[in-house]
Structure 1
Amino acid sequence: MVNESTRLSAQDWARAALKAMADGGLAAVAVEPLARTLGVTKGSFYAHYRSRDELIAAALAEWVRSHGDDGLVEFTAIADPARRLRELLVTVVHAARPLAPSVHLSLLGDRNDPRVRDAVGQVNQARLRVLTSTYRELGLPPDRAASRARVAYAAILGLSQLAQTDPAAPRSDVLADEAVAVFLSP
């Protein structure tokens, strides 16, 4: 719990909103419960944001930044495409922990909200660009690289969904080895 004398930043509020979104979508973003969680009064919120909508916009922008192009920089810096794909798959599979909430999957329940649709679209496109370009570098023709990227990405999202609902999911290192074997095959 944050001490009342501790000054929270706008980013602290946005991150708390993202955690709430992961747990319950946009409906879970409410100022008073977030203030209680952060151990501050609502006044702290109003020092940074004029409204809940403004906080949601900031939280979604933070998620796009951290899970879109900027969040993929460490992978795009890997010159060897096979190693890049392996690192991507292993990282994603290890991140899909049993019963762990996911901002991405929770936002799908709010997919008709234009802000959510735009944010999810940006993250999806960034991830698909990296996967497609990686498969192109591995020698697949453009259409096949794009198709393989979509299938790999669908599997990644599926593993995340299964991890949220299946406490008996196989160990992540086993799943990572399987994912690499499937998605690095010609």
Structure 2
Amino acid sequence: MVNESTRLSARDWARAALKAIADGGLAAVAVEPLARTLGVTKGSFYAHYRNRDELIAAALAEWVRGHGEGGLAEFTAIADPARRLRELLTAVVQSVQPLAPSVHLSLLGDRNDPRVRDAVRQVNRARLELLTRTYHELGLPPDRAASRARVAYGAILGLLHLAQTDPDAPHSAVLADEATAVFLPS
């Protein structure tokens, strides 16, 4: 079962911790079960981290890196705001899978933890800033662009929530078309 020749990086451990968080929140991050899942001994963990708190901090940083500004880079590079919004909405909605666990939604159960609060705030801010800028570039005044961004982002999070609980949700391609029709100004 344990493959001693497997060399895991700190990032491998952080990504495994993120999967555990998606499945069960911060409480699901435990060294021994993660080591079993990864097929290594606990010693591999201690080669990278002193304790569970360091792993959680690294996992949250990895999530922020991949889902905050860094994860949005491909969209910020799109100059045409209508195309940017269409591609962003399509990518996000198509990534929503029925009954799939979500780091973002799981973290909400731990929102009183200052590390979680900060990570969620960073991701939300990056996403809202991109949406707000995009709506502003599409011609909405700043206040209205910010409001539209919040409504669109709230709808996206709502779709994510529904997908976790509804195995019969419509196909994501249909939802992507609907999201584009609703949230792309005409």
TM-score by length of 1: 0.98
* 1:26 matched to 2:34: no
The superposition leaves residues 112-170 of structure 1 with CA deviations (integer Å, 9 ceiling, x where unpaired) of 00000000000000000000000000000000000000000000000001111100000
The superposition leaves residues 87-117 of structure 1 with CA deviations (integer Å, 9 ceiling, x where unpaired) of 0100011111000000000000000000000
Structure 1 counterpart of 2:144: 144
Structure 1 counterpart of 2:120: 120
5+ residue gaps, structure 2: none
Q: Matches of residues 10-89 of structure 1 in structure 2 within 5 Å?
A: 10-89=10-89
Q: Matches of residues 84-123 of structure 1 in structure 2 within 5 Å?
A: 84-123=84-123
Partner Cα distance (2:2, 2:118) in 1: 32
Q: Percent identity?
A: 85
Structure 1 counterpart of 2:5: 5
Whether the aligned pair in 1 keeps the contact of 2:2 and 2:41 (CA below 8 Å) is: no
5+ residue gaps, structure 1: none
Partner Cα distance (2:63, 2:111) in 1: 15
Partner Cα distance (1:25, 1:2) in 2: 25
Partner Cα distance (1:185, 1:82) in 2: 8
| Matched AA of 1:69 | E
Q: Tell me by how many angstroms 1:2 deviates.
A: 6.8
| Matched AA of 1:62 | E
Q: Tell me by how many angstroms 1:3 deviates.
A: 2.4
* 1:170 matched to 2:170: yes
**Which segments of structure 1 move beyond 6 Å, counting only runs of 4 or more?**
none
| Matched AA of 1:166 | D
